Structure 1
Amino acid sequence: MSAAPTRLPLALKLLVTAFVAVLVPVYYLNYGPTNFLYFCDVALLLSVVGLWTEWPLPASMAAVGILLPQLLWCADFLTQLFGFKLVGLTAYMFDPERSLFLRGLSFFHGWLPFLLLFMVRRLGYDRRALWAWAGLGWGLCLVAYFLLPPAGTVLPDPKIPVNINYVFGFDDAHAQVWLPGPVYLVGWMLALFSVFYLPTHLLLRRWFGRPAAVAPVAQAVGSLQSA
């Protein structure tokens, strides 16, 4: 019996894992545990799972969820860098109260989309990712809306996040006032699906689609059972 071939470089797995091993405790100490409920942080953790298991589903889910939003993050950062405000998603990157090291860790928003595209290209795109991520993303929105601090909340530590996943609007200092809160939440969840998730799913399915693959771990177990 031969071992299943690896499709992702070991050096890449070690490098990303080392980065996450630094980021998690630093973020936990500075931002608290709720920060890990942001879509981007969940996607980063899913990418680590996908790297080591070489299972297409975690990487595909992360790609569906954050490829387009991360492009928006990068555009927002560049515009603010040159003195303009696009949406305000990256205002914290210019906060002098946060160390350069802490802000520097957030540059994973810039390289994570390329990592996920590389992973999906190597592993294939799992078509179940659309609904798997949609369910996860909507669940995170509901938790943020009903259980976590809304926009405008003043906390003792200003680094602790409020308005996670923008369920109260794009301004952390003030909740949106265009619509009743629950109506905005439902509209936001539908917009996430139709504007971000579904188009990304369709493109990834066209470019990298293949039948859902079985992780090498599962392949090894199956080989042992049939031996």
Structure 2
Amino acid sequence: MNETRVGNPMDAFPAGDTPSIGRHIDQSTRRLPMAAKVLFTAFVAVLVPYYWREYGATNFLYYCDVALFLAVIGIWTERPIFASMAAVGIAVPQVLWQVDFLGQIAGLPVTGMTSYMFDDGISLFARGLSFFHFWLPILLLFILARIGYDRRALKAWTITAWGLMLVCYFLMPPAGAELDFANQPHNINYVFGMDDAQPQTSMPSWAWLTLLMVGLPTFVYLPTHWVLAKVFCRPDAIASPVEGSPANTVHVSRPSPQQPAGSQRRCPRIRKGCPP
């Protein structure tokens, strides 16, 4: 890598390259539409009190709800780490939700996980709120397309998911438990099995939990991370402040002309001094 010190970072690149470098330097530039931020936040502001009243605060321990909050933070801060974590965690499960929902409409349900969306016994308002499972992954992909993917998301989400699993396993009602009220969340994140009515019996409960803690990162989060990193990571050069230099002096790393073809496509890790 060739390293160049420049007083004005824009002088180091051709005119056509300056916008990408500017994205790293000028964080005041808004990349996500204000309308999307306001509408999404308004939706969450309606959903949270309704869910709290109907299901209780523990409902927000579900992965999809945690991802919803991460998306709110990400859309306002425009820091890729938050939307990246949410996408790693829920992209695959929510795609299954989408497929099953469309299958239900076509009369060909896949898993049955969205059958409640067609239950007239549940209010249309509640089902409308729950439809966020369909469009949230689409919104996350839109955000990542605008601001890029942060490769730290795999580790960050895995640690978050492990914490949620342990809390739900040790502190929340298990599958088949006697509930304090009808809508009380139980068997949250399926830590006791896939059936909320009764715990799985194919193995000890601790073995099932271990299977989730190992299997989800290995077979769900990691492949999702690879795809997102391939599609949304920016191969742009990264500019960061040079220690001991004036505030307007940056350290610019550019691929050497001798680098093998295609090596510039590798998504760089976020470095100290660069916006995450």
TM-score interval, normalised by the smaller of the two chains: 0.7 to 0.9
Q: Which whole-Å CA distance do the structure 2 matches of 1:83 and 1:72 have between them?
A: 16
Equivalent in the alignment of 1:23? 47
Equivalent in the alignment of 2:210? 186
SS of the counterpart of 1:113?
helix
| CA shift in 2, pair 1:211/1:43, >3 Å | farther
Q: CA deviation at 1:90?
A: 2.9
Moved more, 187-196 or 13-22: 187-196
Equivalent in the alignment of 2:138? 114
1:93-150 alpha-carbon deviations (Å, 9 max, x no partner): 3444431101210000100011000111111110000000000011101111110000
User: Structure 2 counterpart of 1:141, which letter?
Assistant: M
Equivalent in the alignment of 2:82? 58
Q: 5+ residue gaps in structure 2?
A: 1-25, 249-276
Q: Which whole-Å CA distance do the structure 2 matches of 1:131 and 1:52 have between them?
A: 22
More helix per residue: 1
Q: Which whole-Å CA distance do the structure 2 matches of 1:156 and 1:69 have between them?
A: 28
Work out which of the two has the higher radius of gyration on C-alpha atoms and give 1 or 2. Answer: 2
Alpha carbons 1:89, 1:170 under 8 Å: kept: no
| CA shift in 2, pair 1:3/1:153, >3 Å | closer
User: Structure 2 counterpart of 1:45, which letter?
Assistant: F
Q: Which whole-Å CA distance do the structure 2 matches of 1:127 and 1:48 have between them?
A: 19
SS of the counterpart of 1:158?
coil
Q: CA deviation at 1:72?
A: 1.2
Alpha carbons 1:63, 1:116 under 8 Å: kept: yes
Equivalent in the alignment of 2:66? 42
Alignment of 1:148 with 2:157, yes or no, is no
Q: CA deviation at 1:91?
A: 4.3
Alignment of 1:1-20 (within 5 A): 4-20=28-44
Q: CA deviation at 1:156?
A: 4.1
Equivalent in the alignment of 2:191? 167
| CA shift in 2, pair 1:84/1:152, >3 Å | farther
Alpha carbons 1:125, 1:208 under 8 Å: kept: yes
**% identity of equivalent residues:** 57
| CA shift in 2, pair 1:185/1:81, >3 Å | farther
User: Structure 2 counterpart of 1:111, which letter?
Assistant: W
The number of equivalent residue pairs is: 217
SS of the counterpart of 1:112?
helix
Q: Which whole-Å CA distance do the structure 2 matches of 1:88 and 1:183 have between them?
A: 26
| CA shift in 2, pair 1:37/1:104, >3 Å | same
Q: 5+ residue gaps in structure 1?
A: 220-224
Alignment of 1:139 with 2:185, yes or no, is no
Alpha carbons 1:126, 1:211 under 8 Å: kept: no
Alignment of 1:201 with 2:225, yes or no, is yes
TM (norm. structure 1) is 0.87
Alpha carbons 1:88, 1:170 under 8 Å: kept: no
- Cα RMSD over matched residues? 2.5
| CA shift in 2, pair 1:211/1:179, >3 Å | farther
SS of the counterpart of 2:198?
coil
Q: CA deviation at 1:192?
A: 1.1
SS of the counterpart of 1:6?
coil
SS of the counterpart of 1:5?
coil
